[in-house]
Copies of this chain bind each other. A is one copy, B any other.
Amino acid sequence: MAQEPVKIPQATARRLPLYYRFLNNLHSQGKQRVSSAELSEAVKVDSATIRRDFSYFGALGKKGYGYNVNYLLGFFRKTLDQDELTKVALIGVGNLGTAFLNYNFLKNNNTKIEIGFDVDESKVGTTIGDVPIYHMDELQEKLVEQGITVAILTVPAPVAQPITDSLVEANIKGLLNFTPARLNVPKTIRVHHIDLAVELQSFVYFLKHYPITEKELI
């Protein structure tokens, strides 16, 4: 697996998929070149931040010209491992889970939800947006069989920890947790936490307590 010469900052890594998507848009619009200022307008990230982000990968642009869309796109395709498919399992096919299944990640990217699990017998055996749904009892067997090591957890909070324990046994490496539970896992497993309730609540807190400042209005 090709590794960047220098570790890029996490904040930069988080913006890469965003850049990649917008470069795709530009490409399909037939645009040949783009400046950091234009890109900034589109993705709402400061242009200096964009230039700095790109610079971690070397000198990708040309002074007085900007960036060549095709070249940049090709570069990011390689960098984001567009050629190596990452298979993901979706655990829990409720409303949130179904939202994921209907999102066609493959369009821009090689991350693919390969399989879903639920306890609801009316869902087991069906396919949703091309993804087959199995019973939760088959979790370990199927994951091991298909060598899947990344999972999205969208189950009810009370069963989050027991199901996580089962995922750990199935040798999972990364877990994107959408439940409110804070999961206990061995240290070798990466868990990323997105809590919709917390997101909404802290957003509301922000609105109330952080009025927009003079500086922001300029």
Give A contacts to B, CB under 8 Å.
1, 3-4, 7, 10, 13-14, 16-18, 21, 42-44, 80-81, 86, 88, 94-96, 98-100, 102-103, 105, 108-109, 111, 150, 152, 173-174, 176, 180, 182, 187-188, 190, 192-210, 212, 216-217
Contact A200 B88 (CB under 8 A): yes
Given contacts A13-B205, A182-B44, A187-B216, contact A197 B109 (CB under 8 A): yes
Contact B109 A18 (CB under 8 A): no
How many copies of the polypeptide does the oligomer hold?
Answer: 2
Contact B194 A206 (CB under 8 A): no
Contact B3 A209 (CB under 8 A): yes
Contact B182 A203 (CB under 8 A): no
**Closest CB-CB distance, A209 to chain B, in whole Å?**
7
